Amino acid sequence: MTKRFVLVFGTLAFAALMGSPAKADQDFNCYSSAVPEGSATCQGSVVQVAGVKPFSCGDTRNHDQVIYCGAVYGYESHWCARIQNSSLREACFRDTE
């Protein structure tokens, strides 16, 4: 492979990975859409679940909250089973459907 080919291929691959970020307008849903670039919109939103102190994914306080955020915003529903708090675990499965 020539250096030019590697450079062109690398540029195209980088451009494809960038894509276009999702628009975070009033119709945007953090639980069912691609998370916007920087994910500030979703990371800053407060998660409110009965029996759990409200938190945001930008400021988690315990391991269950970290797993919840990773599952919901990483779209990894199988992670939800690792959550110890039953209310948060149920919310995790609901929010990753």
pLDDT (0 to 100) of residue 10 = 54
Determine contact, residues 92/86, Cβ cutoff 8 Å: no
Neighbours of 89 (CB within 10 A): 19
Where residue 89 falls among pLDDT bands split at 50, 70, 90?
very high
Q: State pLDDT tens for residues 22-74.
A: 444 556 667 665 655 556 777 788 899 998 999 998 888 999 999 998 888 77
pLDDT (0 to 100) of residue 62 = 94
Short-list 81, 65, 84, 83, CA closest to 73: 65
| pTM beyond 0.75, yes or no | no
Output phi, psi for 15, to 5 deg: -65, -40
pLDDT (0 to 100) of residue 91 = 93
Where residue 21 falls among pLDDT bands split at 50, 70, 90?
very low
